[in-house]
Amino acid sequence: MYLFNSLSLNFLLSFAALKQNFMRKVNVVALLIFLFAACKKNDKSIQLPLTAQTLSNLWYGSDSMQRMDIYLPAGRTDTTKIIVLAHGGSWTTGDKSDFDSLVPVLQQYFSGYAIANVNYRLATQTSNRFPAQETDMKSAVNFLNKNVAEYHVSPKMILFGASSGAQMALLQAYKYSLPNIKAVVDFFGPTDMSALYNSFKLGSANWLGMQVLMTGDPTTNPDLYSQSSPVNFITSQTPPTIILHGDADSVVPVSQSIALRDKLNGAGVINQYLLYPNQGHELWKPIVLNDALMKIAVFVKANIR
């Protein structure tokens, strides 16, 4: 009888301990479930609404020039498109800051769009000769593609370039055939590098500069001249392109834009060609720029998919 009672007591004590331990574990699990649900709820509250944000000098490569500024609009979503800016400067000068004053104007004409303003390596007599700039533009676009989720934007891009920057924007859109590049804005950009070289006066600074940039002339380095000419990569799948040029441009001949227009027409590609009277190698006067941006906005929004 004594033994039975002792065993019963031990059993009851052991059962009570097991029950207490079980309830403790249940309470811990319940607490974890509650915390997980709370965190998940907090995540959603952090995501929306998103405020406007400027990210300055983001590195997309290891060189000090491989940086970009990104302007993210308030209320952006995974449908927010990106305008990518490439400054001009004959591949040897210029800076993304050249477009700083243009950014707020673009934000008015393209409300709700994100903007990425790109710097790239500049060519010298001894380094960064072409296609270093083309390679940088490709790296910048790849960087944006990889980070669209982090920035809460769409991978759909409109490439916007001026002069040499337009040549790089056109090359990126035409040569690499990325489906997320939906349109190109070309401000007086070179489109046929051999024809551009031949348009310069023999012995002139531009003529000599092209030889340095391209490591030779079209005869000694024909492959690079061909591979660097956007007109050579136009197909029926080329994205819609709007071309703007001044008829008094003494740096990049109007014939470069006409050749691009004709090649696009021949391939059945949607395009628009705008020629501005009495304008040189710039279209930044307010009355001209406002007209240009208004027409660019209409073209892009009508044709982007």
User: Residues 200-222: pLDDT tens digits?
Assistant: 999 999 999 999 999 999 999 99
Crossing angle for the helix pair 164-175 and 132-151, to the nearest 10 degrees? 70
Crossing angle for the helix pair 102-109 and 286-303, to the nearest 10 degrees? 40
Nearest to residue 227, comparing CAs of 278, 200, 180, 192?
A: 192
Residues 214 and 272 reside in one and the same domain: yes
Distances (CA, A) of 287 to 67, 208, 217, 301: 31, 35, 39, 22
- For the stretch 33-57, pLDDT in tens is 444 454 444 444 445 689 999 999 9
For 156, list phi and psi in degrees, rounded to 5: -70, 125
pLDDT value at 251 more than 60 = yes
3-state secondary structure of 85: strand
pLDDT value at 16 more than 70 = no
Residues 101 and 153 reside in one and the same domain: yes
Please give, one letter per residue, the 3-state secondary structure of 155-169.
CCEEEEEECHHHHHH
Please state, rounded to an integer, the average pLDDT across all residues of the chain.
89
pLDDT value at 276 more than 50 = yes
Tokens of 250: 């003494």
Q: What is the domain extent for residue 261?
A: 48-303
- For the stretch 145-197, pLDDT in tens is 999 999 999 999 999 999 999 999 999 999 998 999 999 999 999 999 999 99
Residues 1 and 53 reside in one and the same domain: no
Question: Which distant-in-sequence residues (6+ apart) come within 8 Å of 202 by Cβ?
Answer: none
Cross-strand pairs, 235: none
pTM: 0.84
The total of structural domains in the chain comes to 2
pLDDT of residue 25: 52
Residues 16 and 98 reside in one and the same domain: no
Residues 140 and 110 reside in one and the same domain: yes
Could you tell me which residue, 16 or 178, shows the higher pLDDT?
Answer: 178
In this structure, the dihedral spanned by the alpha carbons of residues 279, 96, 82 and 281, taken in order and rounded to 10 degrees, is: 10
Residues 98 and 245 reside in one and the same domain: yes
Distance CA 1, CA 3 (A): 5
Torsion sign (Cα): 93, 285, 269, 191 = negative
Q: Could you tell me if 244 and 292 are in contact, meaning their C-beta atoms sit under 8 angstroms apart?
A: yes
Torsion sign (Cα): 34, 38, 43, 49 = positive
Per-residue DSSP letter, 122: P
Q: Could you tell me if 246 and 276 are in contact, meaning their C-beta atoms sit under 8 angstroms apart?
A: yes
Residues 74 and 186 reside in one and the same domain: yes
Residues 64 and 37 reside in one and the same domain: no
User: 128: domain CATH number?
Assistant: 3.40.50.1820
Residues 118 and 258 reside in one and the same domain: yes
pLDDT of residue 49: 84
Residues 27 and 104 reside in one and the same domain: no
- For the stretch 104-124, pLDDT in tens is 999 999 999 999 999 999 999
Q: How many CB atoms lie within 10 A of CB 247?
A: 11
pLDDT value at 11 more than 70 = no
pLDDT of residue 77: 97
Residues 290 and 234 reside in one and the same domain: yes
pLDDT of residue 21: 57
Cross-strand pairs, 58: 68
3-state secondary structure of 101: coil
Q: Could you tell me if 230 and 195 are in contact, meaning their C-beta atoms sit under 8 angstroms apart?
A: no
Residues 19 and 65 reside in one and the same domain: no
First to last CA, the chain: 89
